Amino acid sequence: MGKKLSYFFKFFLIAVLVVLGAWSPMTFAATTVPISSFRAHDIIYSVATPYSGGFVVVGSRDDNLYVLNRQGKLVWKYTTPNAVSSVAVSPGGHYIAIADQDSEIYLFKNHRLLWQKSLQTMPSAIAVSRGAETIAVTFPVVPMLTEFAANGTQLRQVIIPAGGVSIAITGSGREIAIGANNDDLYVMTPGGHVLWSYATNGTVNGVSMSPNGHYVAIGSQDHHVTLLNGQGRVLWRYDFGHQINGVATDRHASYVAVATNNSYILAVLNHQGTLVWQKNTGAPNTSVALSENGSVLAAGSQNDLAYVISTSAALAQYRAFEMELHAVYAGIVLLLLLGAWWAWRRYRRTPQAQQLVANVARHRISYIMLIPTFVLLLLFNYYPAISGLYHSLYRWNPGAESYFVGFHNFVMMARDPFLLVGIPHILIMILFGILLGGVGVPLLVAELMFHLRSSRMQYVYRVLFIIPLVIPAIANILIWENIYNPDIGLLNETLHAVGLGGLAQNWLGNPHLALAALIFMGFPFTNIIAILVFYAGLLAIPGELIEAARMDGASLLEVIRHVHIPMLTGQFKFVLVTSVIGGLQSFGVPLVMTGGGPEMSTFVPGLEMYYAATKYSEMGYSAAISVSMFLVILVLTVVQMKFIRTSATD
């Protein structure tokens, strides 16, 4: 047995070393996608790029139209009297059409203004076809589609079912897609004849068509990005968890870019909805554009920056990373299999091996009886634990592709104010928890009960202290929330009743008092488990010991100090360890009572972990917090075990 284990152990070590060796070069690859940015003087409203991706057109609230090269350097700019709300560029890149918030539209050819038109109402979005044969404009308020020719004449003005907020046009100009504020997408002819429509559950903020119109990508306020084919059939639909402000697709919709309101620019692969790459810009993003082959991605953000990103590099790196990852996993499995096979070969011929096989077969009923336990433990305890450890190194997107970020999540923890402020809070709570509800009051109560002469009364008090436990834990928290109520809470009413009304407070609303209020919630701290533990410990002290001390003339306090306390060492350790380990993980009371507030004054690490996962879908970050707490607890447990072993040998 031991020999076999040591073989296994050796191979495991070798496998780990090999994996670490392979891992180190590739970990940083994913972070070096070429990305350049350009800073405007105000929010970027709109970006566009021609099929070639040769340059990027940017419209900003600072009234400027900017043209950037692929390196994000300014090539040309044009200043209008008001914010540039929408920009479009013709497929070949010759024409640029823009709309501003003075209800003016402009057409440029090769950086030269061709014409400028005033409209009756403010346009929301503009699109331009290959030779500027059609310049299509929609309006948020009026359900209208207006089209102009290259020379500036108005071709037609048609009524459409709803006001448009986004627009796209095919290269030929034969189909126009409009994302409407009635949550529908309309694909229509230039004459306003609706070919098909598609309903979402939110305003369609972004729409993009592949050059031939075979694919239409839409992003909606309902958090979904949907890819449809030219007939309106859904190819895929993907929930990003936040409002979508812009989408863009390449020629074959093999690549779709998304701008979300929660500050992410994302690149998504077709078919699987696989996330290939993403960037957090720190502010809501307004618009994205993609070149025809998907190699250039442009994006605009409310942080005044326009980004130009070489996605081909990101894609290539993603592919390489994926392959490496698979190779490493295959390597681990292969090594382990090889090791196991080798160990087994050496071991098989020995007589012990034959005996073992016979032994296992003879005791098969034992193994069968253990199957249910182990199936559950592996599935619901070991798998999640390993998954948490593993995904703490990932940008974890359950349901989509996750990717490796190394220790990024852990680095982020050092910069997370909610987490940092939570550490002293939890330490204070644990400290007071131990002093009051862990040791102080329970030891006092146990000693008092122990010194009662009537064992019937001892029993009565034991039961009395158990009775409050019938209040469900959550109800206890909610009841205390009511006790702290500033207007009709028991605490303030009591203060008023005894003439201390001046001390009445909004206990949970005051950032200086809220944490103390949470600690005081256990009042009078008659924690029944600790009482029972100490009480049982006192009963287990041999009577002769106490009698002997008494004979020597020891007073009651001396007996407690020199006999009781030393004999209760195990109980102290138990209470201490369970208080610290349980306390570190706890966040139920702040979650229910204060939500971490007011002003972060009751935030604790567990709460930040819970919120990261449930509110912000930062699963990888949440896992990193829990892994850190696990490591702290692990160290404490090991220390505690050492202590107990030494005390046992005393």
Q: What is the rounded radius of gyration, in angstroms, for the C-alpha atoms of the chain?
A: 34
3-state secondary structure of 601: coil
Which residue number, 35 or 478, has a Cβ lying nearer to another protein? 478
d(CA 47, CA 38): 12
Amino acid at 557: L
Amino acid at 472: P
Which residue number, 193 or 362, has a Cβ lying nearer to another protein? 362
Q: Rounded to the nearest whole angstrom, what is the least distance from the CB of residue 385 to another protein in the complex?
A: 5
- Give residue for tokens 């196991």: 340
Per-residue DSSP letters for 559-602?
Answer: HIIIIIHHHTHHHHHHHHHHHHHHHHH--HHHHHHTTT-STTTT
- Give residue for tokens 């436990």: 469
Q: Rounded to the nearest whole angstrom, what is the least distance from the CB of residue 506 to another protein in the complex?
A: 13
d(CA 489, CA 521): 13
Neighbouring residues of 413: CB distance < 8 A, sequence distance ≥ 6: 419, 621, 624, 625, 628
Pairing assessment for the beta strands 244-249 and 234-239 based on DSSP bridges: unpaired
Cis upstream peptide for 123 (omega within 30°): no
Residues 258, 261, 264: CA angle, nearest 5 degrees: 55
Q: Rounded to the nearest whole angstrom, what is the least distance from the CB of residue 389 to another protein in the complex?
A: 8
Residue 439 phi/psi, 5-degree rounding, is: -115, -55
Neighbouring residues of 440: CB distance < 8 A, sequence distance ≥ 6: 525
Q: Rounded to the nearest whole angstrom, what is the least distance from the CB of residue 483 to another protein in the complex?
A: 7
Residue 209: closest CA among 106, 144, 289: 289
Q: Rounded to the nearest whole angstrom, what is the least distance from the CB of residue 259 to another protein in the complex?
A: 26
Which residue number, 192 or 590, has a Cβ lying nearer to another protein? 590
Residue 51: closest CA among 105, 85, 88: 88
Evaluate whether 308 touches 37 at the Cβ level (below 8 Å): yes
- Residue 152's alpha-carbon distances to 108, 114, 228, 309, in angstroms, are 11, 8, 33, 34
d(CA 424, CA 415): 15
Q: Hey, which residues does 36 pair with through a beta bridge?
A: 308
Which residue number, 121 or 637, has a Cβ lying nearer to another protein? 637
Q: Rounded to the nearest whole angstrom, what is the least distance from the CB of residue 608 to another protein in the complex?
A: 11
Which residue number, 341 or 383, has a Cβ lying nearer to another protein? 383
- Residue 405's alpha-carbon distances to 28, 87, 436, 607, 614, in angstroms, are 8, 35, 43, 23, 21
Q: Rounded to the nearest whole angstrom, what is the least distance from the CB of residue 235 to another protein in the complex?
A: 23
Cis upstream peptide for 598 (omega within 30°): yes
Q: Rounded to the nearest whole angstrom, what is the least distance from the CB of residue 17 to another protein in the complex?
A: 24
Which residue number, 183 or 493, has a Cβ lying nearer to another protein? 493
Which residue number, 11 or 525, has a Cβ lying nearer to another protein? 525
Residue 199 phi/psi, 5-degree rounding, is: -100, 135
Which residue number, 314 or 508, has a Cβ lying nearer to another protein? 508
Q: Rounded to the nearest whole angstrom, what is the least distance from the CB of residue 542 to another protein in the complex?
A: 9
Which residue number, 97 or 624, has a Cβ lying nearer to another protein? 624
Q: Rounded to the nearest whole angstrom, what is the least distance from the CB of residue 638 to another protein in the complex?
A: 9
3-state secondary structure of 152: coil
Evaluate whether 243 touches 269 at the Cβ level (below 8 Å): no
- Give residue for tokens 């566009």: 48
Neighbouring residues of 398: CB distance < 8 A, sequence distance ≥ 6: 619
Which residue number, 81 or 553, has a Cβ lying nearer to another protein? 553
d(CA 205, CA 168): 12
Q: Rounded to the nearest whole angstrom, what is the least distance from the CB of residue 601 to another protein in the complex?
A: 20
Which residue number, 92 or 570, has a Cβ lying nearer to another protein? 570
Q: Rounded to the nearest whole angstrom, what is the least distance from the CB of residue 576 to another protein in the complex?
A: 11
Which residue number, 407 or 459, has a Cβ lying nearer to another protein? 459
Which residue number, 186 or 484, has a Cβ lying nearer to another protein? 484
Q: Rounded to the nearest whole angstrom, what is the least distance from the CB of residue 274 to another protein in the complex?
A: 17
